Amino acid sequence: MLNEIFEKTVQTSGGVLDKTRAASQKFAKDFANGYPVKKAGQYWQMLGPGLTTGAADDDPSGIATYSQTGAHWGFNLLWLAAFTFPLMAVVQEMCARIGLVTGRGLAGNIKRYYPKKILYTVTVLLFFANTFNIGADLGAMAKATQLLWPNFSFTLLIFFFTVLSLILQIFTSYKDYAKYLKWLALVLISYVLTAFFVHLNGREILTHAFLPHLDFSKDQIFLICGILGTTISPYLFFWQTSQEVEEEILQGRTTIKLRRGETTDGEITKMRVDIWSGMFFSNLAMFFIILTCAATLYNAGITNIQTAAEAATALRPLAGQYAFLLFAIGIIGVGLLGVPVLAGSASYALSESFGWKQGLYLKFKKARAFYGIIILSMAIGLGLNFVGLDPIKALIYSAVANGIVAPVILVLIVHMSDNQKIMGKRINGKTISAIGWITAMVMIVAGVATIAAMLIP
C-alpha cells in the first residue's frame, strides 16, 4: 500500500516538475523574443480617453484636496481611494458606453431625451464650476513653477500656461493632441515615486487603506464631500463621452449614422480596459498623495495645507529635495493635462446644448463657437487670479456648483445607460446598474452635505 502511494506521489511530482519545466522554458523563450514588451505595447495601445480622463481627475485642485486630507487627518481617510475607485470607474464606463453606442456626447443625448431646461441649467453651472477650477489650477501651476525657479514672474507664468494650453487645443490636430494627453498622464507616476522618499509604517497603512475611520465632524464631512466632488466630477462625464465620439471620428465614422452602427464586443472590451486602467491609475496617485502627506506633514504637526504648492514646500524639509521636486513637477504636469479637460468639457456641453458644431478634430474656422467657449473659459480663469479671488474660495464655489450638478447628471447617466431604447443590447448589467444608483445616492448626500456645511455656521 505504501509503495503504491509512494509511486503515485513520485509520478504526480514528476508530472508537476515536467509542467513547471515546460512553463519555465516557454517563459524564457517568450522573454527572449520580446513577448512581455509586445504585450505591454498592446496594452498601451488599448489606453486612450479613459487614461487621460483619469489622470485629469488629479488636477492641481485635486492634489490640494488630497494633500489637505493627509495633512489634517493623517491616514484616517486613506480608505477613500479604494472606496471611490469602483464608483468612478462604473460611472465613466457608462459615459463611455453612451458615447460609443449613440455616437453623441453626453449633452447631445440629454438634449434628445430629457427636458432642455435641465440641460441648460446643468451646463451653465458646469461652465462656471470649471472656470473657477481653471483659475485655481492656473494659479497652482504658476506657484509650483516658482518653487523650482523663484525668479520667474507669476503674471508671466499665468499667461504662459494659458496661451500654451490654448495653442495645443486650437492648433494641434486631435490625433496629435490625444497622444500628447496620453503621455502627459504618466506624470502621475511622480506621486507614487514621492512616497519612496518617506518613512512608512506598513501595518498602519494596511489598517487604514480599506477600513473607514470617521468622527462625523463638520470639517471631516466637508473634506469627504470635497474628495467625492473632485474624484466623481461632472466635467469628467462630459469629457469621457465626447472623447469616445472623437475617437470614432478619428477612425472615419464622421456622421452620427455611422457612429450608431453596431458596437462590437471588442470595442466594449477595449473601452473597459481603458476606463478601469485610467481610474485605477488616478486613484493610485490619490492614495499615494494622501499617504505621503500623512506620513510627513501630519506626523510633523503641519495640518493646514491650502494649496498643492504649499504641500510641496512643506515636504522639502521633511521628505527631502527629490520628493519636493517630484511633487512640484507633478503639479505642473497634471495642470497641463487638467486645464484643457476642464475647458474642453464645458465647451462640449454648451456646444451640444445649443446645437453648435463641436469637436477638437475640427479646425477653428469650422467650430468658432466651440473654440470660443474654450477661450472664454480660459480667459475668465486667468482673470480670476488678478481680481483678488482667493483660490480656496474659487474651489469652494466650484464645489457648490458641482454639488448641484453631479447628482442630477448621474441620475440621467444611469437612467440613459439602463434604457434599451437608447442603448439597445448594450444596457447596464445588474451589478453595474446597482453601483451606478449607489453612486448617484452617495453624490446626492455629498451634495446636500456640502451645501449644508457651508450654510451652517
DSSP state of 172: S
Sorted by sequence, the CB contacts under 8 Å of residue 379 that are 6+ apart come out as: 162
Q: Please give the Cα distance from 246 to 105 (Å, whole number).
A: 9
Mean pLDDT calculated for residue range 278-290: 93
pLDDT digits (tens, 9 = 90+) for 299-356: 888 888 878 788 888 888 877 888 888 888 988 999 999 999 999 999 999 999 999 9
Query: Taking the alpha carbons of 182, 186, 191, 192 in that order, is the dihedral positive or negative?
Result: positive
Q: Contact, 55 vs 188, CB < 8 A?
A: yes
Element (H, E) at 308: helix 308-319
Q: Please give the Cα distance from 424 to 268 (Å, whole number).
A: 14
Considering only CA atoms, which of 283, 141, 151, 119 is closest in space to residue 209? 283
pLDDT digits (tens, 9 = 90+) for 442-452: 988 887 877 77
Q: Is 82 helix (H, G, I), strand (E, B) or coil?
A: helix
Mean pLDDT calculated for residue range 274-287: 94
* Residue found by looking up cell 482667493 in the block: 390
Q: Please give the Cα distance from 362 to 174 (Å, whole number).
A: 8
Domain 48-455 has CATH 1.20.1740.10: yes
Q: How confident is the model at residue 2 (pLDDT cuts 50, 70, 90)?
A: very low
Sequence ranges of the domains in the chain: 48-455
What share of the chain in percent tops pLDDT 90? Answer: 46
Percentages (nearest 5) of helix, strand, coil residues in the chain: 80, 0, 20
**What pLDDT shows up at residue 219?**
80
Query: Taking the alpha carbons of 70, 74, 80, 81 in that order, is the dihedral positive or negative?
Result: positive
Max distance between CA atoms of the chain, in angstroms, equals 91
Considering only CA atoms, which of 406, 417, 416 is closest in space to residue 439? 406
Q: Contact, 49 vs 267, CB < 8 A?
A: no
Does the structure show a pLDDT above 60 at 113? yes
Sorted by sequence, the CB contacts under 8 Å of residue 214 that are 6+ apart come out as: 76, 220
**What pLDDT shows up at residue 22?**
56
Does the structure show a pLDDT above 70 at 12? no
**What pLDDT shows up at residue 321?**
85
Count other C-beta atoms under 10 Å from residue 21's C-beta.
Answer: 10
Q: What is the mean pLDDT of the chain?
A: 86
Does the structure show a pLDDT above 80 at 281? yes
What share of the chain in percent tops pLDDT 70? Answer: 91
pLDDT digits (tens, 9 = 90+) for 410-447: 999 999 999 999 999 999 999 999 999 999 999 888 87
pLDDT digits (tens, 9 = 90+) for 122-168: 899 899 989 999 998 999 999 999 999 999 999 999 999 999 999 99
Cell of 94: 457608462
Considering only CA atoms, which of 112, 116, 115, 118 is closest in space to residue 421? 112
Higher pLDDT, 299 or 239: 239
Of 93-107, 313-327, 384-398, the least confident = 384-398
Q: How confident is the model at residue 18 (pLDDT cuts 50, 70, 90)?
A: low
Q: Rounded to two decimals, what is the model's pTM? A: 0.87
**What pLDDT shows up at residue 35?**
59
Query: Taking the alpha carbons of 214, 216, 219, 224 in that order, is the dihedral positive or negative?
Result: positive
Q: Amino acid letter at 431?
A: T
